Structures are given as structure tokens and as C-alpha cells.
Structure 1
Amino acid sequence: MGGPKAHGTFVKRGSNIYRTSAYIQWGESDTSIGACLLLNPGSAALENDLSIQLEQEGYAEGRIKSEDPTMKQLIAFIQNLYEKDHLISGRLHIYNLFNLQNTKSENAIDKFEELVLLGEYEIGESLVTADELLAHPWIMIGWGVKRDKRWKNLQLVKERWSELIVESTVPSFGKLHAKRPDYYHPCPLIPTKRLPMVEELVSIYKQKIYKMES
């Protein structure tokens, strides 16, 4: 059966690439095992032949290279949720505040703000329905804790996603900032902090979500 595999849908508009959907698959089941809400798609790229298709046709769907640090971290989180002898089968769905692909978060936010102001990106493009969210047993929020007064559209899309999560009633959790309603990204930049973050997120999950399910 092999290990977990990442899958995504990408579109290219002008010089910008957008990942419009993504999930990590364990086994054969298409049942959701959870979801996460992050800032934006990072460096995870399509397999080579699909990258060529994206360049030529402006659209591609298929396997994502799983070497991306965030993908690895999400896989580690799910595998740490389960007992070692437990067979994982299902999908972890990945949502983003905005779909523009860019590795550096601050550059990505600046570009997102610019595209919204130019009318080239609809601020609510990444939003889904409340019914879709409710199909997940839980959603982990990890959109990051960076803030800047000039990032007005980023704040607006955070508020719209937060309202959607409340409306859907899907249980949510994440590592919350001490002073404001922002959540730390699940993949710290410093590699030595990644395993402790996985362990902390598993602990938060067990305190907040597992108790609700029990």
C-alpha cells in the first residue's frame, strides 16, 4: 500500500501559480481524517510531468512531491495521533487563507495584498461551504502569527474563515498565540523545533478534540 501520498490541484494565471486544493492520502479510503487551515501553499510542487502540463495548459492535478517540510510535518502529526499498530486510512485535507503559491510567507502575503488591490484575486477564493467543513471530524488552524498593519486583506480573510469555522460547528484547535487570535504554523522554520511542535499539537488535540469525541 505504501506510505502517505500528497495530491493537489494547481492553476496558473499569468506568472502566478495557485494551489486550489490539496490533501494527504493514507490507504485507499476517501473519508476525511481531519483538515488543517494554513497561510498559503509553500514549496510543495507537482511531479515533473505534471509541472510541464501546468506550464503548457495552465492547469494540472495529481501527485505532489512530499519532500516539502510542511507536508512532512503534517504527516508526522497524523502518524503521531495514532497508535503505532493502528492502520491509518483516509485523507487529511489542506486549506489555505489564500491559494497563491510562494515559499516565503511575508513575500506571499505582500503579493496577495497586491493582487487583491489590483482586482486580480478575489479575497474569498479559498473559502469553502460550511457543509464541506462539517464533513471533517476536526480542523487544525495554523496560519502563522506574523502581523503587519498593511496586511488588511489578510486580516479580513482570517475573520471570514473564523466565522465559517464557527458557523460550520466543526471542532477546531491549534497552538494559539498568547496575546491575539493567531495560531502558530505547524512547521517551525528551525528543524530542531519541529518534533516538539508535533508533540505539542498532539497534546492540544488530545486535550481539546479527543475529550469531545470520547
Structure 2
Amino acid sequence: MNQPKAYGTFTKRGDHTFRKSAYIQWGDSEQSLGACLLLNPGSADFNKINPNLKVELNTVGKAEGEIKTDPTMEQLILFLKGIYGEGASLVGRFHIYNLFSLQNAKSKNAVDQFETLVRSDEYEIRESLIPLEELQSHPWILTGWGVEQNPNWKNLEQIKGMWMSLIDESKVPTFGKKHKNSNNYYHPCPLIPTRRPEIVADLLAAYKQMLESISSNPV
């Protein structure tokens, strides 16, 4: 399999850093291999992400380029290997979308910050949404924004609904490991490393189930 590389686009507003887009690239093709919808980008530590981008970001307020793969990306790479086979020669892009683009490694703190920024009009709640045509360019989308809930997270629930409405409109097949008591989906990269192989296996099973559903119910 070709060695994948990751790329990101970032902006900085005040004290906050936002990852506006990210994808994992195999080879040179721009063809989509799939996409995922997660909660938010992780750490904004550019000493780990790419120190050169940190200089550009702090100078002009935006930057884009190659970045170091983080644990979530490594999990997604394993997932793609599971779909196509360890030795397959992949060519294309896997796109990573987020419910909101604020970078913060701790999900609870990230959501609290997101809620505050939306309420203070410092962040437009629809900012993460993409054009319908872009969404329809993907063969499928994996949902995995996490299962933690809080009654105060009103804006988070709103953007989830907006994304799911967009996905429904697009007719793009979607799947994930759903929580049994809510409309939430487990994140593909658990905090406990020993649980990560299990979630990859669960997601591969969900992917297979999605394919079987499509083949038995053709449009």
C-alpha cells in the first residue's frame, strides 16, 4: 500500500485555532475514497503537527500544508487498510470533516468553547457545513462524533441535525458504530489504546453491513 500523507488547512482568530479542512492522501489522485464526520480537530500543538505551519499561521493568520498524522488519522488509515486489504495499492483521498473546526484535544472542553463562541457570535454555527455537491462526491461517510451528551450543548445538537439533514439530502450511504441509547456514534479513536483495534473491527463490520444493505435495496 502507498504510504499515506495528511494535509490540513488552518486559520487563527484571536486565541483560537481552527482546522478548516483535512484529508489523508494516497498517491496523486483527488478521487474520494470516502469521508468521515467527527466532533472537532484535536490538539493545536503545531510543534507536533508541523512547526513550519505554526510560523505562517502566527504571521498571516492562515496556513496549509502537510501535517503529521495524529492517532485518529492512524485509526482511519487502519480502517481503510481493513476495507481494501493490507497490501492494496490505494490511490485517492479520504476526507475528514468535523461538526466544528475549533482545535482542542479535550472533547468536553472543546464543546464548551464551541458553545461559548457560538453564543457570543464569534463562530458561525454553520461554518463547518460543506456544499451538497462536495458531499455527493464521496462514496460513503463514516459518522463518529462521540457519544458524550450534555443538556447544555444546544448548539452541538443543532449542528448535528444540520449535518444529518445534509447527508440525508445527499443520499450518500452513511454508517458508524451507533450508541444503543442515543443518536450518537462512537469515535473511531478511543482514548484507551487497547480498545482501538476493537473499534476498527466494529467499524469494518458496520461498513460491511452498509454494503449489504445497499446491495439488497438498490436505488
TM-score (normalizing by structure 1): 0.96
- The letter of the residue matching 1:48 is P
What residue is the counterpart of 1:9 in the other structure?
9
Cα distance in 1 between the residues matched to 2:194 and 2:175: 23
CA drift at 1:30: 0.8
The 1:18–1:210 alpha-carbon spacing in structure 2 relative to 1, beyond 3 Å, is farther
SS in 2 for 1:23: strand
CA drift at 1:100: 0.3
Assess if the C-alpha contact under 8 Å between 1:11 and 1:19 holds in 2: yes
SS in 2 for 1:8: strand
Cα distance in 1 between the residues matched to 2:58 and 2:212: 43
Give the gaps of 5 or more residues in structure 1. none
CA drift at 1:186: 0.5
What residue is the counterpart of 2:64 in the other structure?
61
CA drift at 1:195: 0.7
Cα distance in 1 between the residues matched to 2:213 and 2:113: 40
Assess if the C-alpha contact under 8 Å between 1:138 and 1:209 holds in 2: no
Q: Deviations over 1:83-115 (max 9, x none)?
A: 233211110000000000000000000000000
SS in 2 for 1:124: helix
CA drift at 1:73: 0.7
What residue is the counterpart of 2:142 in the other structure?
140
SS in 1 for 2:100: coil
Assess if the C-alpha contact under 8 Å between 2:144 and 2:188 holds in 1: yes
Aligned residues: 213
What residue is the counterpart of 1:107 in the other structure?
109
SS in 1 for 2:125: coil
Alignment of 1:1-214 (within 5 A): 3-43=3-43, 45=46, 46-66=49-69, 68-209=70-211, 212=214
Assess if the C-alpha contact under 8 Å between 1:173 and 1:209 holds in 2: no
- The letter of the residue matching 1:77 is F
- The letter of the residue matching 1:116 is V
Cα distance in 2 between the residues matched to 1:189 and 1:171: 27
Give the gaps of 5 or more residues in structure 2. none
Cα distance in 1 between the residues matched to 2:40 and 2:155: 14
- The letter of the residue matching 2:90 is I
Assess if the C-alpha contact under 8 Å between 2:25 and 2:93 holds in 1: yes
Structure 1 stretches of 4+ moved >4 Å: none
